[in-house]
Homo-oligomer: A and B are copies of this chain.
Amino acid sequence: MIRLVIIGSGNVAQHLIQAFQKSLVQVVARHPETLHSLPISCPVVTSMNEIADAEVYVLAVSDHAIAALGHEIPGTGKLVVHTSGATGMHVLPKHHRSGVLYPLQTFTKGKPLDYSTIPFCLEADKKEDYLLLEQLARTVSSAIFSIDEQQRLALHLAAVFVCNFTNHLYQLGADLCAEHGVSFEVLKPLILETAAKVQTLTPTQAQTGPALRGDTATLERHQSMLTQPYPKEIYQLLTQSIIDHVQKL
């Protein structure tokens, strides 16, 4: 087993603590009370001064806190990694070895996740450190990807499209349901199946709807039903983008 210390007590830290239980020798948490419901079998300390000796230190903290906390890790030549999709390795302290262990998933407090399918996007300065991170990640998941900084930033941006923006489209669908006295339950199987389709088909193969068909009558009726400015503009822009995409195929 690779001896692991996780620094952090937020949402991502809580999930990584559960996922990496077997490797964990210590958790460093400024707010240990947020961890009380987790099954942690290793010591939890509150100060970086009490940090244990380990092979890998994982900084699962806010982007802006990575650099300062990294510098508090004692000694030299330790493998120190962060978990941020939006941050380069260069913010990590130069007297340690650097890497990134970015779990690309949407983490919800208290909602269990199947960690074995979580994609771990790995990067390290040194080849042997990459292999160490890979060995560590493989104890949890079989979805391991070698991702450099530019790719990681692109994935972080793509995740906004397929997760944050997608959830907002669910919100607009829920708003339409509420406006017309329909239960959002009716849309839930469609939401699941839409996500399931692109697991085996490409998004191009999976695309359906009036914009793709060039069904002008339906497009016009839909737009006339939208009275609020944002959903109306979103309808028009996404329709145009689908049409533009089809024309480029």
Contact = CB atoms under 8 A, between A and B. Distances in A.
Contacts of A38: none
Interface stretch (A27-35, A68-76, A231-239): A231-239
Given A179-B154, A203-B171, A244 B230 contact: yes
A20 interface: no
Interface residues of A, number: 90
B167 A238 contact: no
A37 B202 CA distance: 24
At the interface, is chain A mostly helix, strand, loop or mixed?
helix
A102 to B, nearest CB: 10
Interface of A: 86, 104-106, 108, 111, 113, 117-119, 121, 143, 145, 147, 150-151, 153-174, 176-177, 179-204, 206-212, 218, 221-222, 225-226, 230-231, 233-235, 237-238, 240-242, 244-245
A193 B234 CA distance: 24
Contacts of A204: 171
